Amino acid sequence: MVNIMEANTITKNAGTAVLEDRAHTGTQESAERKPVFKTNNFNLWYGDNHALQDINLRFNQNEVSAIIGPSGCGKSTFVKALNRMVELVPIVRTEGEILYRDQDIFNRKMTVEELRTKVGMVFQKPNPFPKSIYDNVAYGPRVHGIRKKKILDEVVEKSLRDAAIWDEVKDRLNENAYGLSGGQQQRICIARALATEPDVILMDEPTSALDPISTTKVEDLMHELKKNYSIIVVTHNMQQAARVSDTTAFFYQGYVVEHDDTKVIFENPRDQRTEDYVSGRFG
Amino acid sequence: MSYREKYTNDLQSLVNEVIDLGHICYERLQGATGLLSREDITPARELVAGDKEVNRLEYNINSHAVTLITTQAPVATDTRIIISSIKIAYDLERISDNISNLGEVRKRVKITNEKLLLRLSTMEQLASLMLKDVYTAYQEQDASLCEEVYERDKDIDSLFVHVTTSDIFEETDLFITGQSQLCAKYLERIGDHVKNIAEHVYFVLTGEKIEKLD
């Protein structure tokens, strides 16, 4: 009887030549799928540690792009590079390009403030400010100089509606955000990210601290949000990547093993390492 | 270190169950048409009775496959193996039904037309060989062998057309003629099910459908 693991290896080896061509290339370009982010031979070092190696990826507008990979493979580092948060670490050095809407984010023409206005971020643990729900969401617009109560009210309501939490909090906007459940806090954080009208939302394991129902709500939300925004989400939950994303990139030891439509990654990946990882056999 | 050892073992057991079922059906098919001319009716009765075990094994395969799906969230090749196990087990069960039907015919009549018996025996052997080769195709991970098996069903089909349209096989007793043609139909159906299995194995190996113009 053929051993399943061996059988898979045999099948995969046949595709090695194809793989060499595809690795690092990302999904196919097409007219309908406009890129929001493109990286060209992007490399990143933490001191001597070469954490990201020759990353060539493309993330499209109005899509959910998932990044998966074992711990320490560089997923979070990569996402933090996209809005230059990684520069907060003093020993970081980068090479290559990251283009946001065809503009190099490391170019002096683009300020960090400009970039982060367009590229919002949601983190693993809900991190609302110790303020009221209203003030949490209004924080960004206020920093951007919006003072008029009427405009702020509109922005807060729209953001909370877009984050699918308006109905749950509309009667207690002045209560402290800490009084909400974890899932609600996370959606407040998403609303806070939406309030500055970003173009792209980066999510670093947005549901790993949430219960299953809250997770479902955030996943449904991603489906809704991609109509108006582009989302790049890092997740450890393989099924989540399979459910919510249009494309998936598999990172391993600092480089991209495979990047393709999510259907391909989860149904018929080209690389044996991808297959082993998505089926939970390593990582 | 290997991950998900139990899952991998369970998946392997599922594959083994399907292969075992295939062996049983293969054995049941051997000499099935030979029984049609035998004086003794006992082997035909035994052939019919043997289908019960096949039904039981098919049920077990489905049940194990469902458990794997609900508990392990399979993806990629694993999903294809599990889904195809269910489908192959179904086709094997139908093959077994058709083999039993041959036994049922012998319980009703004895067929003596040598020319006809020769054709039926050829159909049986062609189907047997297809089943054997589709097993080899999986063992050797040989997708092109699946395509060959898929194509070879046409040989059985043309024999079926020959048997049912040529008047050299006609008997004076119309009931016997009718029963003979049923036998040809059963064997033709067995060929179709092996062809399906070839498609399923091809899908497991490649993730794609056999592209052929029928």
**For chain A, what are the domain ranges?**
36-128+199-278
Q: Does B34 touch chain A (CB under 8 A)?
A: no
User: For residue A9, which residues of chain B lie inside 8 Å, CB to CB?
Assistant: none
Give CA separation, B55 vs B23, B66, B131, in Å. Answer: 14, 17, 18
Mutation to test the A interface, candidates B7, B75, B82, most A Cβ within 10 Å: B75
Matching residue, tokens 């059988």? A7
Q: pTM, whole model, 2 decimals?
A: 0.83
CATH architecture of A36-128+199-278: 3-Layer(aba) Sandwich (3.40)
Which amino acid is located at A158 in the chain? K
Over the stretch A35-85, which tens digit does the pLDDT of each residue have?
Answer: 999 999 999 999 999 999 999 999 999 999 999 999 999 999 999 999 999
Handedness of CA B183, B189, B195, B201 (dihedral sign): negative
- Three-state secondary structure of chain B: CCCCHHHHHHHHHHHHHHHHHHHHHHHHHCCCCHHHHCCCCHHHHHHHHCHHHHHHHHHHHHHHHHHHHHHHCCCHHHHHHHHHHHHHHHHHHHHHHHHHHHHHHHHHCCCCCHHHHHHHHHHHHHHHHHHHHHHHHHHCCCHHHHHHHHHHHHHHHHHHHHHHHCHHHCCCCHHHHHHHHHHHHHHHHHHHHHHHHHHHHHHHHHCCCCCCCC
Does the distance separating the beta carbons of B77 and A280 come in below 8 Å? no
In this complex, the residue of A3, A7, A279 whose CB is nearest that of residue B76 is A279
Report the residue of chain B nearest A274, measured CA to CA: B76
Task: Report which secondary-structure segment, H or E, holds A61.
Answer: none
Q: Confirm if B196 and B83 have CB atoms less than 8 A apart.
A: no
Report ipTM (2 d.p.).
0.79
Does the distance separating the beta carbons of B139 and A4 come in below 8 Å? no
For chain B, list the domains and their CATH numbers: 5-206 (1.20.58.220)
Q: Does B144 touch chain A (CB under 8 A)?
A: no
Alpha-carbon distance A194 to A176, whole Å? Answer: 19
Over the stretch B62-95, which tens digit does the pLDDT of each residue have?
Answer: 999 999 999 999 999 999 999 999 999 999 999 9
Q: What is the pLDDT along chain B (214 residues), one digit of tens a residue?
A: 467 889 999 999 999 999 999 999 999 999 999 999 999 999 999 999 999 999 999 999 999 999 999 999 999 999 999 999 999 999 999 999 999 999 999 999 999 999 999 999 999 999 999 999 999 999 999 999 999 999 999 999 999 999 999 888 777 888 999 999 999 999 999 999 999 999 999 999 999 999 875 6
